[in-house]
């Protein structure tokens, strides 16, 4: 009896972890999440893809355990119905796929900028180009390496990428708040810019 209860608990725990992973994958895939790990940028869609794959593996392990246990625990004890799990999986997959396609079509270029702020705040930018227009966003990433939202964005004409081309300025004050500015050229102006202070607080 004890072995049976233990097997049931392991199956339920495995499915719960998989469900939580899928939920986090949905958030990562459809949000502006960005990670910086050892100086390398990991976009939200990549995080979502990783979580989705781990969750699918856990779900496969759960199915194998159910088969080996001859499906001994009641159907009503499942954490979520199969339909809900399928919807979570689809939402996570679509979010990650949309982010990956956007990066691919726009030739996304992620860069960690120097200098770093006095309290470990780092500016990270993403630049893309499509149909003669370039877009860019900047993130303020704290010591944790996680940014949940953008700090600003801009648009440049004729595929001009200010950061890649070196036409930008970045400075930090004593409080750890950064100022980031992008500049265009005579032939490739900045069409629109809305960049606020870089604050990791």
Q: What are the DSSP calls for 94-112, one per residue?
A: HHHHHHHHHHHHHT-EEEE
pLDDT at 102 over 50: yes
- 32, β-bridge pairs: none
Q: Which of 1-15, 52-66, 83-97 has the lowest mean pLDDT?
A: 1-15
Residue pLDDT, tens place only, 128-147: 998 888 999 999 999 999 99
Indicate the domain borders of the chain: 2-106, 109-195
In sequence order, the β-bridge partners of residue 156 are 134, 190
CA distance 20 to 148: 19
Q: Which residues face 141 on adjacent strands?
A: 122
Query: What counts of helices (H) and strands (E) characterise the chain?
Result: 4, 10
**So what's the pLDDT on residue 8?**
46
CB 170 within 8 A of CB 56: no
- CA–CA separation, 10 vs 94, rounded Å? 29
Q: Tell me: the pLDDT tens digits for 164-192?
A: 999 999 999 988 899 999 998 888 889 88
| pLDDT higher than threshold 70 for residue 80 | no
Global pTM exceeds 0.85: no
- As a whole number, the mean pLDDT across the chain is 86
Q: What is the dihedral of CA 52, 107, 109, 48, to 10 degrees?
A: -10
How far apart (Å, rounded) are the C-alpha atoms in residues 54 and 158?
Answer: 41
pLDDT for 129: 93
């Amino acid at each position: 009896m004890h072995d049976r209860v233990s097997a049931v608990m392991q199956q339920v725990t495995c499915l719960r972890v998989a469900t939580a992973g899928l939920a986090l994958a949905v958030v990562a895939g459809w949000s502006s999440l960005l990670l910086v790990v050892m100086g390398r940028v990991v976009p939200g869609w990549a995080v979502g893809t990783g979580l989705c794959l781990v969750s699918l593996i856990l779900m496969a392990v759960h199915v194998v355990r159910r088969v080996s246990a001859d499906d001994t625990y009641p159907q009503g004890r499942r954490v979520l119905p199969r339909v809900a799990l399928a919807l979570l999986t689809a939402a996570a997959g679509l979010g990650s796929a949309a982010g990956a396609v956007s990066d691919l079509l726009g030739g996304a270029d992620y860069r960690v900028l120097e200098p770093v702020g006095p309290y470990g705040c780092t500016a990270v930018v993403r630049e893309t180009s499509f149909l003669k227009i370039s877009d860019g966003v900047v993130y303020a990433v704290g010591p944790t390496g996680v940014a949940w939202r953008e700090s600003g964005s801009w648009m440049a004409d004729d595929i001009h990428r200010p950061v890649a081309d070196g036409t930008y300025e970045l400075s930090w004050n004593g409080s750890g708040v950064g100022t980031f500015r992008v500049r265009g050229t005579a032939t490739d102006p900045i069409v629109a810019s809305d960049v606020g202070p870089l604050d990791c607080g």
